[in-house]
Chain A
Amino acid sequence: MGVAVVLTAFAIVTDGLVYAAYLFLVAVGLTLIFGVMKILNVTHGSFYAFGAYGAAIAVGVYFDRGLPAAGGFLLMVLVAMAIGLVLGLILERGLLRLVYGKDEVVVVLVTYAAFLILEDVIQLIWGANSYALYQPLGVVGNVDVGPLVLSGYDIGLVAFAGLLAVAASFALKHTRWGRLLTVVIFDRELAAAFGINVSLVYTITFVIGAMLGALGGATMAPKIAVTLGIGVEVIVLAFAVVAIGGMGSVEGAFLGALIVGECRAAAVHLAPQIELFVIYAVMALVLVLRPQGLFTRAQPRKI
């Protein structure tokens, strides 16, 4: 009995971490863009979907050639960055630039419209079929823990998400660009008055956010069937995580992902009936106690 309890507890912790890694990867780009630009970017789901499709095709071809596995994982990251760069630039320069300063609701609707258009673009490019990128899971192998089998790819994903969180947090606090970004997050007008090129900061932030979204899709591609509509699910989950953590906070997204991941894993193991309910119950509870989310910056008082 004791062994079984320990095993279940261990399974809950590891499953929770894997789910949290997934949530963090899809949420971090969304929260970054919101933090800097105050845009709730619905096209984040499209970045995810494009990243997944791009990786499924490019990395699939790579593995089919029998090339070394490490290069495949590098290619996964590169494809995501390339897609994020192109899509991010097109959307920010071609569309969002035109609606800066408009009402927040208008901007959300614009990104929603872009999301719907991009869903059709996906169908135009890749058709309605589903794609699979199954090779990476097999290449990495498994780790046995008693009767439990952990996927090596999942362990890698957790490590990757952790590294990304540390890197993002470090970059924001300790690099020149990160500090400039922090200034813009704090007060856009003041930043502009001090000579920061806000428009450039916006473009770069949006592109980085797009890259992170595509990276989420690319890293999840080996685990899912890449098919139409995968972006929709992601926006809802990512939004829940970002709302819990505090809109615009990377640390918040990290903690939010961890809380949701662990609660959901515990629910699946102990009370599967309430699995779906748990994620949103946590969100509701956090928002009741802290309406701004767990991590929020002090707002400057404006006169």
Chain B
Amino acid sequence: MRHPILDHACSLTLLLAAGLPLGLPPMTAGAARAEEPAPVKIGFVTFLTGPAAAPFGIPDHYAAELLVDQLNAGQVPVPYNRVGLGGAKIEAKFIDEAGSAADVVTQFRNLVERDRVDVVVGYVSSGNCLAIAPVAEELKELTVLDICGTTRIFEEKPRHYVFRVNPHATMDNVAAAKYVLDKYKDISIYSGINQNYAWGQDSWRDFRLAMKDLDPKATVDKELFPKLFAGEYGAEISTLLTSNAQFIHSSFYDGDLEAFMYQAAARGLPQRIPFVLTAGETSLYRLGPKLPDGAIIGARGPHSFFAHDSTLNTWFQKVYVDRFHDQPVYPSYDFAQSLFGLKAAWEKAQAKKGGSRPTTEEVIAAFEGISFPTSSTTVQMTLGNGHQGITDIAYGTYKFDKAANKPTVVDIVRYPAECVNPPANVDSIAWLEGGMKGAKCD
């Protein structure tokens, strides 16, 4: 065994031997490191604890860890193959979204004022997104809202510093209505069960309005709004079992969707009346064969089962499964979409500036109205003065593959972005109430 001192002596000799003949100063290595651009500090916010952690926070957080590492290593396929953002590595700071809206705002202020992050990416809850947007404007902080779906962010007020790459919730229900009517030609009566808060109420309203536009003769039988985390759904299931509905609409997700489905499947409800689950994709791997075949499944965009074939998607699937031994679900894809949007805008601004680091205002100018590819599809920032993205969306029918022991989605139908989203400068409710004028569905 050689003594460590000998190793040091050897390397010193080698260094001198290599350095001296070329006349290089001994500090070469250090100088090269100093030239590396300063990192871009990004605050990532999602649910790391609480009931929304399992369905949203964890897959969201996994995608964030994965992409930051891969981008910093320059391992992502084109067009995102540059290291970090425009060559500057990403320095990530992860924050928990759990807590009251006031807590979430305080944490946001801390990120901006104490940690001095350059950009904040995140937020799952629509309530939190609505609370953060005005604060981001006040602090002049570039903020990319991630998974929240409320249409109000850009419809109630124009924003300058706030962007949302992922589409808002209107298209989920417009496309769901279109898919149901394509699949079951003759619909005259349907029911709905949605959670009793903004997400459930808005989803049901949008779905009803879309149904009214597309099939005016269809009527509503039962409208149920159990409270969030209700846990016990016996009475709701009996009500739906005795209803005449031809299908049941639900925007349930997470533990509520799973609890409801265990109880409903045990009593034969989904076997008797098919479900339309607009956010069902997050729970498919956990529900597996417990969810009977035939349920109509959405993923709030063309994510996971619905993602378009591309190098970016194949790569994303592979690195995600390799690292976490778990399938990426739509919150993972949503996060990837958000970060790719930021990177596309950042690098566009940097290119315009001749390769030097862009300021926040320059990134904003580049971000507005940009169009870029993601691991799911292509995003166009057309709504909210170029601050809100739209994409196409797809729906399909659930089928559990017994041989491979995994969930699949068949009969996938895609709907173009302009077909299921309002045109620029039109509010989503006004658009739905006005009969979806200007929709381009060819």
Contact = CB atoms under 8 A, between A and B. Distances in A.
Interface of A: 4, 7-8, 11-12, 14-16, 18-19, 22, 120, 123, 128-130, 132, 134, 137-138, 142, 147-151, 153-154, 220, 222-225, 227-230, 232-234, 264-265, 268-269, 272-273, 275-276
Given A130-B255, A272-B223, A275-B226, A225 B286 contact: yes
Main secondary structure of the interface of A (DSSP, over half): helix
Given A7-B242, A220-B232, 14 more contacts: A134-B262, A142-B267, A142-B268, A147-B241, A223-B259, A224-B258, A224-B259, A227-B254, A230-B51, A230-B231, A268-B235, A272-B222, A276-B196, A276-B227
Given A142-B268, A150-B267, A228 B50 contact: yes
B235 A16 contact: yes
A130 B241 contact: no
Contacts of B230: 233
A272 B239 contact: yes
B258 A269 contact: no
B48 interface: yes
Nearest to B229: A233
A15 B51 contact: no
B418 interface: no
Interface stretch (B53-61, B101-109, B328-336, B434-442): B53-61
B238 A129 contact: no
Nearest to A232: B229
B242 A128 contact: no
A130 B242 contact: no
Contacts of B254: 130, 225, 227
Nearest to B259: A224
A225 B234 CA distance: 15
A151 B269 CA distance: 11
Contacts of B50: 228-229
B263 interface: yes
A18 B266 contact: no
Interface of B: 48-51, 53-55, 57-58, 196, 222-227, 229-232, 234-236, 238-239, 241-242, 254-256, 258-259, 262-263, 266-269, 286, 290
Contacts of B241: 147-149
Contacts of A149: 241, 267-269
Nearest to B255: A225
Contacts of B231: 22, 220, 223-224, 230, 233-234
Most chain B CB neighbours (cut-off 10 Å) among A137, A150, A220, A228: A228
Nearest to B263: A223
Contacts of B223: 272
A137 B262 contact: yes
Nearest to B289: A134
A75 B225 CA distance: 35
Point out which of A12, A147, A151 has the most chain B C-beta atoms below 10 A from its C-beta: A151
Interface on chain B toward A: helix, strand, loop, or mixed SS?
A: helix
18 contacts: A16-B235, A18-B234, A19-B234, A120-B49, A130-B254, A151-B266, A151-B267, A224-B255, A227-B255, A229-B50, A229-B51, A232-B229, A233-B230, A272-B222, A272-B224, A275-B226, A275-B227, A276-B227
B238 A11 contact: yes
B225 A275 contact: yes
Q: Return the 8 tightest CB-CB contacts between A and B, nearest first.
A: A225-B258, A225-B255, A128-B53, A229-B51, A15-B235, A268-B235, A137-B266, A224-B259
A153 B265 CA distance: 13
A119 B48 CA distance: 13
Nearest to A276: B227
B199 to A, nearest CB: 16
Nearest to A11: B238
A132 B51 contact: no
Contacts of B226: 268, 275
A154 B263 CA distance: 10
A270 B51 CA distance: 30
Contacts of A4: 242
A148 B259 contact: no
Contacts of A222: 262
A19 B232 contact: yes
A228 B53 contact: yes
Contacts of A264: 235
A69 B286 CA distance: 22
Contacts of B53: 128, 227-228
Given A8-B242, A148-B238, A227-B54, A272 B267 contact: no
B54 A269 contact: no
B239 A130 contact: no
A259 to B, nearest CB: 15
A22 B231 CA distance: 10
Given A128-B58, A272-B223, A229 B229 contact: yes
A245 to B, nearest CB: 19
B242 A147 contact: yes
A130 B267 contact: no
Contacts of A15: 234-235, 238
B239 A128 contact: no
Nearest to B238: A11
A219 to B, nearest CB: 11
A269 B58 contact: no
Contacts of A272: 222-225, 239
A40 B67 CA distance: 47
Contact of A138 (B48, B51, B266): B266
Contacts of B263: 137, 151, 223
A274 B294 CA distance: 32
A199 B53 CA distance: 41
B235 A19 contact: yes
B442 to A, nearest CB: 40
Given A149-B267, A228-B51, A268 B262 contact: no
Contacts of A153: 266
Contacts of A18: 232, 234
